[in-house]
Amino acid sequence: MREVSLAAWLIVEAPSTLRATERPSGASMAGQDPTLSTDHPFYDVARHGILQVAGADQLGRLIVTFSCCRMPPSHQLNHQRLLEYLKYTLDHYVENDYTIVYFHYGLNSQNKPSLGWLQSAYKEFDRKYKKNLKALYVVHPTSLIKVLWSIFRPLISLRDKNQGELIPPVLRATVTYLKEKGLRTEGLFRKSASAQTIRQVQRLFNQGKPVNFDDYGDIHIPAVILKTFLRELPEPLLTFRAYEQILGITSVESSLRVTRCRQILQELPEPNHAVLRYVADFLHAVSQESIFNKMNSSNLACVFGLNLIWPSQGVASPSALVPLNLFTELLIEYYEKVFSAREAGR
């Protein structure tokens, strides 16, 4: 089976590891398990064959598949029961290494769960289910799935211990390293790094392997990795929807611009808001050391503006750079004020 890459940064395993070598006698990939009894505690859900234990990969790890094409219309399936069935099934296997293969084909407006259900599902799958999950393959992804994967990364993203939010591992690794060793580096984020080395580090993250930036002896490598991660997201962190609103920031009276920034951020999806806050907090810390690194909030905004927001079609026009960079500068310079409103409203 071939793995479908959603975002090269977030792929967990090489595709060659996913080859079913055996299948339990009771598993049927063609539909309902023929051995399924009506006495099964989740017979009403299990009978559809949405979830299957498909055997093991070549490394001996159990493969669990989830097939959207087998989901009946929403009025015929209790999605809360589906969530409970998912947990019930995984509870039998999570103490050992396992792999999940998610087949997105077949999900449509008639059978897809609500966003609220997805949020509930995410909260339910805690560390118990993450610790031994070695690979998550998404087959036949749509553009929406690509965006959600890049930002949300269900089951695999790490949890920020201070904010209780999800931060992609690439961001956490680069930000942590730069905070410890790069805040006073002159020209941070302005200088390039070896393209070959960048690709090498990307492959390590792509394979879920640890990266020790000390091995490379160049503080600009994690800086470039961070910028590249943001730039290569399928949708910008600030979202396409916010683009036109951000362009209007220059028409807002100076004394009201921070308030306007807060209003725009209030409309962001929660995962986007969490990651943006994490990035802005870091960039604010960089700006506080500008006497050494020569990177004040204005300079940082010139670097990160187009890495945080860009139009859905084409590229940003030269005239758009002024409001985009101004908005980014406000996020960095007034970090605490810009992000305080959402916290206060919770």
pLDDT tens column, 112-150: 887 677 767 767 777 677 777 777 777 766 655 555 555
**Lowest-pLDDT range, 33-37, 56-60, 306-310?**
33-37
Please give the domain boundaries of the chain with CATH numbers for all domains: 15-156 (3.40.525.10), 166-344 (1.10.555.10)
Give the start-end residues of each E strand in 111-159.
133-139, 158-159
- Enter the pTM of the model: 0.57
Render pLDDT for 17-46 as a digit per residue (tens, 0 to 9): 334 333 333 333 334 566 678 888 999 999
Render pLDDT for 170-197 as a digit per residue (tens, 0 to 9): 899 999 999 999 999 999 999 999 999 9
Render pLDDT for 229-280 as a digit per residue (tens, 0 to 9): 999 888 899 999 999 999 999 999 999 999 999 999 998 888 889 899 999 9
Q: Which residues contact 130 (CB under 8 A, 6 or more apart)?
A: 155, 156
